[in-house]
Amino acid sequence: MKKENCIFCKIANGEVPSKTLYEDEKFRIILDLGPIDRGHALILPKEHADDLYELPEESASAIMILAKKMAVKMAEKLHCAGLNLVQNNGAAAGQTVCHFHLHMIPRYSNDGQKINWVPGSAAEEELEAVRRQIVE
């Protein structure tokens, strides 16, 4: 089901023009209009889900298979040195469009981009407490 006022639903379903790299009955892959690096693309499901929490499991697994196929093609055609897959859920995580999408960002040696975080630290007891909280 599409969401009426969702720009990514409109793009994914061909109602708004895009630079499409791939399309099938369930997904469209487009070039990002604000690319981090050359070839930055988005995998968009045609069916609306706000985020990963709402995404059907079947779609989630299909997206990863599609991402793998596109990553191989990007490496071959763009000669990138690496690739980041980025997927944000919720405003606190940096999601700006409430339609699930997976960023595929080809990376090039010395491209100057930083997609990273500062690792923290946790005591063994804290890790165990969090583990128990999640699994129990």
Task: List active site positions.
Answer: 101
27: nearest Cα among 5, 56, 38: 56
